[in-house]
Structure 1
Amino acid sequence: MAKTIMIVDDSLSIRQVVGIALKQAGYDVIEGTDGSDALAKLNGQKINLVISDVNMPNMDGISFVRELKQRPAYKFTPVIMLTTESQEEKKLQGQAAGAKAWMVKPFKPEQLLNAVQKLVMP
């Protein structure tokens, strides 16, 4: 059975690029347009990994990760932050919220897939 990855980004083009790379690598993809939308789509199904932007309307990525980690079904779900933010302070906030990795845009799809393969839970 394919692993499921949730992409949370307010940019349609980023969701498309990441989604295509993941689908070509054999993953199922669920998309959220921001943190609130992503939380609404979590209905207890198994999510093997989350890739989230930081700067989004309604609910930013760090708040989203904090909320995600409060839910027992997703407490141990790994999260990659994929963002234009590169300040150390933001990275530390992301880590504190529960993010396992931090990637700065622009990115190469193969770099992202490498990180995904390392973090996807069996």
Structure 2
Amino acid sequence: MAEERPGWFVVVGLWGVGMLCLVGGLLGWLLARPRPHGLAGRAVKTLGWCVCAVLVVRGIAVEVLLLSDATGQETDVSPEQRLWTLALWNPWFLVGGLVFGLAARQFGRASGPSSGAA
């Protein structure tokens, strides 16, 4: 697909992933800021936990599928590509999920004695 570059692949696959990265960056920035009151604060925290769950589940699922050779058939994925996916690409989904989880967990918590009313 990357060689043929059909229009839908470029729009959804490449630009879609780029947009998701920007949205993830915005969510990370919001999680690092002081927690707003009300629905907005709950929505940011809930989105943080959702992103955590999606990234961790995706990371674990791909690891299991690649390690177990779930298709059981010859595929276009070479052993070298599988190794690089397992060792280099996929662990970042797990790390990202854990970081979003930690950020969601800490969101809105007091950070120390200077966090009180001034």
Q: Same fold (TM over 0.5)?
A: no
More helix by share: 2
More strand by share: 1
TM-score, normalised via structure 2 length: 0.24
TM-score, normalised via structure 1 length: 0.23
Q: Using CA pairs under 8 Å that are at least 6 residues apart, name the structure with larger relative contact order, 1 or 2.
A: 2
